[in-house]
Structure 1
Amino acid sequence: MILGVSRDEVGRRALTEIGVVERDKSGLVRVVPAWTEPGGFTSRRDQLQRMIRERR
């Protein structure tokens, strides 16, 4: 899980994206969004929830 954070115009930090790490067919690793601040959850929502459950 990768957390994307950005700063606003006055310097406050805010969570803008949550990504999950996946390995593609060639073996390369990439980060794909599971949640974004403007768009909400993506098709990777179930994968993110599964990761959170397994960490408890």
Structure 2
Amino acid sequence: MKEYWIKDLSLAERGRKRIAWSETQMPVLMEIRKRFSEENPLKGVRIGACLHITTDTGV
């Protein structure tokens, strides 16, 4: 049984860099993330979503 679902682990560092870059390009989203992490408005709520993981959606 696999310990992970990642197809190519050698791409991990590149992915981290792309996500870090995306964070610098989305200041409003980062403010929302900061605010919600402090307030925790969705505590106890279960949310389901289905979307492609990209640097934009990874943030």
TM-score (norm 2): 0.28
Larger RCO (alpha carbons 8 Å, 6+ apart): 2
Q: 1 or 2, which has the higher helix percentage?
A: 2
TM-score (norm 1): 0.29
Q: Which has the larger radius of gyration?
A: 2
